[in-house]
Amino acid sequence: MAAHGPGTPYRAVLTGASGGIGAAIARRLAPRAEVLILVGRQQAALEALQQELQPHRLQIVCADLCEAQTLDRIAAAADACGGINLLVNNAGVSDFHAFETQSPGAIRKMVETNLLAPMLLTRALLPLLARAPAAQIVNIGSVLGSLGFPGFAAYGAAKAGLAGFTQALRRELSDTAIAVRHFAPRSTRTPINSAQVDAMNRALGTAQDSPDAVAEAFLAFLEETGWQRILGRKESFLVLLNKLAPGLPDSAIRKQLGQIRKYLPR
């Protein structure tokens, strides 16, 4: 069931808050938040967001989630505020590239940031979440974690891992007051996409959402009861089709492969 009823204030940790989707979520979450801890790597962007929102007891943590001391800082900040009832694992990085020539460093960074960091942060904050009468962990994934696409092999693998982690932990904690949930946007107009990705999306007619639209859908999801939401009717259908008859998406994407390769860095 949903962890919060109407009017229940959130005590939240939000990662990736200095990015497009993260900042948009922060703006919508702030009016509902009693405590809001924003985590990101861009100090100036976090400070500007803090000055803009000025909710009660808003804090910022500017650090890299792949560093162990960052997890300790976040846990200490959450504990000092009296605990939390919401963790939003939103931070992520992407690198659109042919896998054969993609750098090992880029592959490692995507797996560490998109999968390992949210797993370890969740582990660090579970004791605090368990103190709340009801709590949520929401992992923000991607349609590409359920629908493999050329140029996103490493990114899609990390996001697929995040979906698997979400499902397993949800079942592990199903007899507790902690709901573990998965929210998967489709392509979104944010700086995480390179110019090549934007050009490819235009050429293929790929639908793209604004960060504000994603954030609005996310806030609605927080009040719903389902454990997962994939944005976009077409994308939701393709994900289902990919599970039931993967040969059909295989064939459709292969027909697009020549066009995709025009934009694919090698």
Mean pLDDT, the chain, whole residue set = 93
Query: How many Cβ atoms are within 10 Å of 31's Cβ, its own excluded?
Result: 10
Q: Decide if 17 contacts 23 (C-beta within 8 A).
A: yes
Domains in the chain, ordered, with CATH?
A: 10-261 (3.40.50.720)
Q: What is the pLDDT of residue 2?
A: 47
Percent of the residues in the chain that have a pLDDT greater than 70, as a whole number: 97
155 flagged as catalytic: yes
- pLDDT score of 136 more than 70: yes
Q: What is the mean pLDDT of residues 139-153?
A: 96
What pLDDT does residue 6 have? 53
pLDDT tens digits, residue range 196-254? 998 999 999 998 899 999 999 999 999 998 999 999 999 999 999 999 999 999 999 99
The per-residue pLDDT for 191 is: 82
Predicted pLDDT of residue 1:
44
pLDDT at 192 over 90: no
Q: Which of 10, 96, 152, 155 is catalytic?
A: 155
Confidence of residue 40 (pLDDT cuts 50, 70, 90): very high
pTM of the model: 0.94
- Asked whether the predicted pLDDT for residue 7 surpasses 70, the reply is no
147: pLDDT strictly greater than 80: yes
pLDDT given at position 228: 96
pLDDT (mean) for 174-179: 98
The amino acid at residue 170 is R
Q: Is the pLDDT of residue 55 over 80?
A: no
Q: Which pLDDT score is estimated for 32?
A: 92
% the chain with pLDDT above 90: 86
